[in-house]
């Protein structure tokens, strides 16, 4: 008997990137229906706050390679 989830996954992976992204968001949203309804607006507000901090020099940028190096060493 065929596995419907695998069949669906196979078909989904053949979709264009934009359609896969939309599907991924819908699937993730379906896992946690109790998500804050304004979470997108809250994340945007947080991103804008962080951008202002970077632009004003309140915080310093950290190169991605340094962040990943630290994360890897922490996980070991």
45 and 26 in one domain?
no
- Range of lowest pLDDT (33-37, 39-43, 63-67, 71-75): 33-37
Alpha-helix residue ranges (DSSP H) falling in the chain:
4-12, 17-31, 39-56, 64-75
61 and 31 in one domain?
no
The tens digit of pLDDT for each residue in 41-63 reads: 999 999 999 999 999 999 999 99
Q: What is the mean pLDDT of residues 27-45?
A: 83
Number of domains in the chain: 2
30 and 1 in one domain?
yes
The tens digit of pLDDT for each residue in 7-28 reads: 999 999 999 999 999 999 899 8
Q: How far apart are CA 73 and CA 60, in angstroms?
A: 22
Q: How far is CA 35 from CA 22, 24, 29, in A?
A: 17, 16, 8
Res 29: pLDDT: 82
Token code pair at residue 18 = 């934009």
Q: How far apart are CA 53 and CA 60, in angstroms?
A: 9
17 and 4 in one domain?
yes
Q: What is the mean pLDDT of residues 64-73?
A: 95
Range(s) of the domain holding residue 16: 1-35
């Amino acid at each position: 008997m065929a596995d419907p989830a695998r069949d669906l996954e196979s078909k989904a992976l053949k979709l264009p990137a934009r359609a896969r992204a939309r599907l991924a968001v819908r699937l993730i949203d379906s896992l946690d229906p109790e998500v804050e309804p304004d979470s997108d607006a809250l994340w945007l507000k947080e991103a804008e706050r962080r951008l202002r901090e970077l632009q004003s020099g309140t915080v310093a940028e950290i190169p991605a390679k340094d962040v990943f190096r630290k994360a890897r060493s922490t996980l070991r």
